Amino acid sequence: MSINYDHFSSLGIALVVSGPSGTGKTTVCEKLLEQNKNLNFSISCTTRKPREGEVDGEDYYFISVEEFKRRVENSEFLEYAEVHDNYYGTLKTEVTDKVINGEDVLIDIDVQGMRQMRKASSGDSVLEKCTSYVFIAPPSYPELEKRLRNRGTETEDVVSRRMLNARKELKAWNEYQYLIINDEVDKAVNRLQSVITAVSIETSRLTPVADWPYV
């Protein structure tokens, strides 16, 4: 009898991805989500206004500050943070419920969010086993600024604030398990897929279910 990965039951992967605004996280993640149909995007709640082309319930759940606070009171978030003067939060229903069902989830959050996720995961039997952390960095500061400007979605004032924040965020790169430098989109997508592939076959994640011969 030959064996394959169907001989294992496994929780899904919760892949936390951070990097300064403008690095290209959304571009890389969207491309990966297109080619990896087993991967779900964790749709965060935000009080920020939608950018042109953004769709409610796809890119974010765009909600009011009052609604956000109500959800905080209800303990609906795994983590939440104030980023660039707006609130952002990761819903438990987007992550915990899915990984328990064996589905993989991509979570795009900032460095504060990652630190909260690490706290929330430690001692949580499901999240501790499921969560991996990836930092996406731009190839240089001038390139980051160029990307932020070229995106054309922010005012000069907002670009300056995001560049200042980027300098702080980039220092956190080695708090993550993996570093991806987004020099070229396709290379970055391949690197991210490689991380998922490697994590998915970690022995600590694999629980044999039936007819497992290697005992």
- Look at residue 214 and give its three-state secondary structure: coil
Are residues 130 and 120 in contact, defined by beta-carbon separation less than 8 angstroms?
no
Applying CB under 6 A, does 90 fall inside the site for ligand 5GP? yes
Applying CB under 6 A, does 109 fall inside the site for ligand 5GP? yes
3-state helix, strand, coil in the chain (%, to 5): 45, 20, 35
The single residue among 13, 28, 83, 180 that binds ligand 5GP, judged by CB under 6 A, is: 83
User: Per the structure block, which two tokens stand in for 135?
Assistant: 């930092």
- The smaller minimum CB distance to ligand 5GP, of residues 10 and 27, is found at 27
Applying CB under 6 A, does 191 fall inside the site for ligand ADP? no
Are residues 19 and 107 in contact, defined by beta-carbon separation less than 8 angstroms?
no
User: Per the structure block, which two tokens stand in for 180?
Assistant: 């991806």
Task: Give helix then strand counts, H and E, for the chain.
Answer: 8, 11
- The smaller minimum CB distance to ligand 5GP, of residues 122 and 197, is found at 122
Span from 17-25, 40-48, 74-82, 115-123 in contact with ligand ADP (CB under 6 A): 17-25
Span from 14-22, 118-126, 164-172, 196-204 in contact with ligand ADP (CB under 6 A): 14-22
Span from 2-10, 59-67, 144-152, 166-174 in contact with ligand ADP (CB under 6 A): 144-152
Applying CB under 6 A, does 44 fall inside the site for ligand 5GP? yes
The single residue among 34, 82, 184, 202 that binds ligand ADP, judged by CB under 6 A, is: 184
User: Per the structure block, which two tokens stand in for 91?
Assistant: 């819903």
Question: What's the closest the beta carbon of residue 202 comes to ligand 5GP, in angstroms?
Answer: 25
User: Per the structure block, which two tokens stand in for 125?
Assistant: 């039997």
